[in-house]
């Protein structure tokens, strides 16, 4: 029997590859809706720089840290009862990043199995997002964006790694269909920050999904 923390509110998970624009979309949607946001920890992450310098040495440590931080944050937001936006979901830790790192030899089989065991126990306790906003862009475009944002630790990210992550994302999104509405946005042809018309369309989709889930659009937490 699943031991979910039953959601008192609706939340949106923004998912997608490195550099695709999750934080930019999260910021604009939060401003429009008046909801809370969980941003992926970057500046405060104690393993990120070490990971990119030596993936094999630090992959397991990084993934455990991110899994724990996302679990704590999602649990806290759900229990608080207000709608929120999540910049990258906990599912991506297990279904995308840990899996790809294992396939690339950066995680040993015993590390990967230990991580998956913990991951599966954690997600049993959490509700699935009410809507997934899946942002897409081809790896060459992502590399350009990663270079423009200028994080020194990301300088070594290669196109092959991004392409492998992209394939894992496509497989996971297919498996998630039927669990919640999925809104896919091709971000290649848009400017950043995204324009107001696109954000208005996404907000409309979020409201429709929230109403369908039984939480009225005007319920607590929404200001627009």
132-146 confidence digits (pLDDT tens): 999 999 999 999 999
| 219 domain-assigned | no
| CATH code, domain carrying 208 | 3.40.50.300
The owner of tokens 């297990």 is 94
* Confidence tier at 124 by pLDDT (50, 70, 90): very high
Classify residue 87: in a domain, yes or no: yes
- Between β-strands 84-87 and 11-16, what pairing exists: parallel, antiparallel or unpaired? parallel
pLDDT beyond 80 at 222: no
For the segment 73-123, what is each residue's pLDDT rounded down to a tens digit?
Answer: 999 988 888 899 999 999 999 999 999 999 999 999 999 999 999 999 999
For residue 99, give its domain range.
Answer: 11-212
Evaluate the CA torsion angle 65, 30, 122, 162 in order and state its sign. negative
The yes-or-no answer on residue 87 being catalytic is yes
175 within domain boundaries: yes
Would residue 157 count as lying in a domain?
yes
Centroid of chain to Cα 136: 12
Selected catalytic residue, list 54, 87, 93, 195: 87
CA–CA dist 37, 81 (Å, integer): 13
Residue 203 lies in a domain: yes
The residue behind tokens 């455990």 is: 64
41-50 per-position pLDDT tens digit:
776 889 999 9
Domain count, the chain: 1
Classify residue 220: in a domain, yes or no. no
Residue 83 structure tokens:
């709608």
pTM of the model: 0.90
114 part of a folded domain = yes
Task: Write down the pLDDT at residue 26.
Answer: 96
Helix (H, G, I), strand (E, B) or coil at 136: strand
The CA distance from 199 to 25, in Å, is 8
DSSP code at position 97: I
Q: Does the residue 84 lie in any domain? A: yes
Residues 6+ apart with CB under 8 A from 224: 32, 33, 34, 203
106 touches 57 (CB < 8 A): no
């Amino acid at each position: 029997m699943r031991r979910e923390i039953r959601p008192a509110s609706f939340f949106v998970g923004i998912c997608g590859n490195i550099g695709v624009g999750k934080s930019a979309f999260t910021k604009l949607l939060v401003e429009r809706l008046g909801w809370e946001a969980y941003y992926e920890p970057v500046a405060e992450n104690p393993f990120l720089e070490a990971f990119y310098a030596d993936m094999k040495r630090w992959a397991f440590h990084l993934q455990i840290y991110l899994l724990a931080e996302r679990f704590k944050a999602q649990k806290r937001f759900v229990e608080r009862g207000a709608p929120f936006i999540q910049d990258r979901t906990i599912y991506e830790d297990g279904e995308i990043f840990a899996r790809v790192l294992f396939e690339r030899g950066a995680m040993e089989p015993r590390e990967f199995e230990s991580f998956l065991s913990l991951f599966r126990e954690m997600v049993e306790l959490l509700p699935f997002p009410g809507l997934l906003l899946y942002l897409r862009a081809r790896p060459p475009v992502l590399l350009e964006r990663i270079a423009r944002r200028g994080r020194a630790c990301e300088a070594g990210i290669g196109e092959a790694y991004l392409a492998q992550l992209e394939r894992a994302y496509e497989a996971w999104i297919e498996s998630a269909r039927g669990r919640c509405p999925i809104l896919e946005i091709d971000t290649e042809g848009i400017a950043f920050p995204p324009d107001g018309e696109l954000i208005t369309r996404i907000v409309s989709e979020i409201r429709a999904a929230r109403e369908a889930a039984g939480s009225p659009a005007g319920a607590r937490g929404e200001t627009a």
